[in-house]
Amino acid sequence: MSVKRIGVLTSGGDCPGLNAVLHGVVSAATTRGFEVLGFLDGYEGLLNPVRYQRLDAVSVSHISHLGGTILGTTNRGRFVAKVGGGKKAEIDPAILRQARDTCRGLNLHALICIGGDGSLSTSLQLQKAGVDVVGVPKTIDNDILATASSFGFDSAVTCVVDSLDRLHTTARSHKRIMVVETMGRHAGWIALHGGLAGGADAILIPEIPFHHAKVAAFAKERASHGLASTMIVVAEGAVAAKGQLSTIAPGLRGKGEVRLGGVAEQVAREMEKRTGQETRHVVLGHLQRGGNPTALDRILGTRFGVGAIELVVKKKFSHMVSYQNYEIGGVPIAEAVARIRTVPPQGQFVHHAREIGICFGD
């Protein structure tokens, strides 16, 4: 009897915990006697010249603690299905056919696609083209529906918290306002969790349009009570009421998302002008995506990897692994990519943050 072959790839922006997923996938597959091929640089590895490497117990040993991905990845290229704000685009059918022919030529039983909402949407298009896929939700932004969490988020939040711990001491010494920009695209999860855990005084998120005047009045009020430094965390996708999204580069050739950035600088300028208090801004950027995954992300990633193999064994194709109530299960990918998961402005998390005096600028 021939050995079953499974393909795996990592797609989209990298994220701490990807290697833990690969370790989980390959180890669980090997236990079941499957052979695993890891495609390089996301879906691009499926196109001519086809690029992959055989993954076995040796290739994935001691990689779970490492950031990045041993397979490489891209959030550009011919498979970009993400347009912006949760909208998706169709992949060129000729490209999908080429990828399908690669999978057939290599006699793949299934392809495990580890990626965010755009990459998971691509996987569904591949399924329609004739490849049996299983998804694993990946993103530091934590904006994928149908799973309580995705791996990488906790590592990104930890980076924000570590940074705030450092910034608090210098902000206090100089009695400054400090504005810290986090990633997260159109969802405010990283700013909200990082800000709450890191002791932010104000948190500005895409889901709640903010007013510069209100944030400035809040900082002045604090100063009048002897709280001379104010820590403001702003998500890169946050927008001032009647303002515009801050971007630093357009999407490529009309495909892919615009690059967000610049809102912290804008907020800092406004704060200094409106309060007269010295203000500095810091953009955390890719520090949030790099480095080693936290224990939580290693565990979630590993369990997602094992869960993906379980979905393959059960033939639950076009499903992705999902984390709900401490258990790993499976949900249709279609449910996860219908739109992005954003912070509910009236939800309990925001309510609790308001209860402890955090300002949202609204």
Residues of this chain that interact with ligand F6P (CB under 6 A) are 13, 75, 116, 139-141, 183-185, 236, 259-260, 289
Angle between helix 212-224 and helix 263-275 axes, rounded to 10 deg: 50
Is 89 within 8 Å of 81 (Cβ atoms)? yes
**Residue whose CB is less far from ligand F6P, 26 or 113:** 113
Minimal distance, residue 280 CB to ligand F6P, in Å? 22
- Comparison of 100 and 185: residue with beta carbon closer to ligand F6P: 185
Instruction: Tell me the closest approach of the beta carbon of residue 289 to ligand F6P, in angstroms.
Output: 5
Would you say 106 or 282 has its CB closer to ligand F6P?
282
CB of 119 to ligand F6P, least distance (A): 10
In the complex, least distance from residue 196 CB atom to ligand F6P, rounded to whole angstroms = 18
Neighbours of 276 (CB within 10 A): 11
Residue 77 CB neighbours (<10 A): 17
21 three-class SS: helix
User: What is the number of other CB atoms lying within 10 angstroms of the CB of residue 28?
Assistant: 20
For 269, the token pair is 């300028």
Cα 179 to Cα 167: distance, rounded to the nearest angstrom: 10
| Cα 158 from Cα 17, distance rounded (Å) | 13
For residues 144 and 125, give the distance between their C-alpha atoms in angstroms, rounded to a whole number: 18
Measured between alpha carbons, how far is 229 from 238 in angstroms, rounded to an integer? 22
Active site residue 141: yes
**Three-state SS string across 157-175, please?**
HHHHHHHHHHHHHHHHHHC
Beta bridge partners of 237: none
The CA distance from 321 to 123, in Å, is 13
User: Tokens representing 199?
Assistant: 């002791």
- DSSP secondary structure, 275-291, as one string: H---EEEEE-GGGGTSS
Given 141, 143, 201, 297, the catalytic residue: 141
Question: Cα torsion at 67, 73, 74, 78 (round to 10°)?
Answer: -170
Nearer to ligand F6P, 10 or 139 (CB): 139
- Under a CB-based contact definition with an 8 Å cutoff, are residues 116 and 137 in contact? yes
Q: How far is the CB of 330 from ligand F6P (least distance, A)?
A: 23
Nearest distance, CB of residue 334 and ligand F6P, angstroms: 20
Distance CA 314, CA 273 (A): 61
Q: Which is nearer to ligand F6P, 129 or 191 (CB)?
A: 191
Supply the minimum distance, in Å, between the C-beta of residue 224 and ligand F6P.
36
Q: Which helix (H) or strand (E) holds 88?
A: strand 87-88
Catalytically active residues, by annotation: 141
